Amino acid sequence: MSELLKQNNEYKKWLLALKLRVKQTQLKAAVKVNSTLIEFYWSLGEDIVNRQAETTWGSGFLKQLSHDLMAEFPDIKGFSKRNLELIRQWYSYWSRDQLIAQQAVAQLILIPWGHNQQIINKCKDTHEALYYIKKTIQHGWSRSVLTHQIESGLFKRQGKAVTNFSETLPAIQSDLAQQTLKDPYVFDFLSLTDDYNERELEKGLIKHITQFLLELGAGFAYMGKQYQITVGERDFYIDLLFYHAGLHCYVVIELKLGDFEPEHAGKLNFYITTVDEQ
């Protein structure tokens, strides 16, 4: 029975989606674990900024504070002078705009301290920073994923994808599909030669499949390259096939270099129809 179940397509599809859900849950749990600490950091940052503004304790204030706190709590690395400076910088970054700060505080505590630091160090303004906070919470991004998304310019690229999802999918799915796909995709991590061909592009994407999946967005699971489908007595091969757990559908990718030709769409539609039927 177990061998038959392993070969059952419906079971395999469900298991794949289930594994993805488990991993996403693990990430979300890890992202939220420091909520109480971040809330304390916010209040500490506020205290530091206010005390330095209202008193004449001098430039050695943070050094002395760090010494006293670490004497009492020697195992807490967060009380180093450097981290106290970062806490002050972080609080000051957000508190400049009270309207934004009010929106941000409740979300800042939902992401780890390292994430908070990456965001204020790499984002040009609080609007961009708030965008990445929301995305981190929504997708449960690790710090490396967050850094990749910021450095690849997701804030500027999100929502620019040109699609016809609103016409071809039910309304309840079209918004989700529109948000999931973004344009243009950033493939600078592939390090391909200037005159690469379609097969080299495919190999580059597979070699860096983790980063490629990050570029596609949350919910994509890799099914295979040169994925074989059979129609009648003929075999055809899909360049890349993915499954999207959120949309509950397969995503077919056909790699082409050069300008778009009408026959490209015809071939892609043929693949999509065949995958749906099989």
Q: Is the pLDDT of residue 8 over 60?
A: yes
Residue 186's pLDDT is 41
CA atoms lying within 13 Å on the CB side of residue 214: 25
Q: Over the stretch 9-41, which tens digit does the pLDDT of each residue have?
A: 888 888 888 988 887 776 565 444 567 788 889
Which run of H or E residues covers position 203? helix 198-207
Q: Which two tokens stand for residue 143?
A: 């710090």
d(CA 225, CA 17): 19
Determine whether 212 is exposed, middle or buried from the number of CB atoms within 10 Å of its CB (0-12, 13-18, 19+): buried
Helices 61-72/81-95 angle, 10° precision: 120
Q: Over the stretch 125-137, which tens digit does the pLDDT of each residue have?
A: 888 998 898 888 7
**Contact call for residues 116 and 108 (beta carbons, < 8 A):** yes
Task: Please count the other Cβ atoms lying within 10 Å of the Cβ belonging to residue 238.
Answer: 22
Residue 182's pLDDT is 43
Q: Is the pLDDT of residue 111 over 90?
A: no
Of the given ranges (90-104, 119-133, 247-261), which has the lowest mean pLDDT? 247-261
Strand partners, 241: 224, 252
Q: Is the pLDDT of residue 76 over 60?
A: yes
What amino acid is encoded at 82 in this protein? Answer: R
Phi, psi of 202 (to 5 degrees): -60, -45
Q: Over the stretch 157-189, which tens digit does the pLDDT of each residue have?
A: 774 554 555 555 444 344 434 434 444 444 444
Please give the model's pTM, rounded to 2 decimal places.
Answer: 0.54
* Domain range list for the chain: 34-143, 159-277
Q: What percent of the chain has pLDDT over 70?
A: 74
CA dihedral 23, 27, 30, 35 (to 10 degrees): -140
Q: Which of 42, 47, 76 is nearest to 62 (CA)?
A: 47
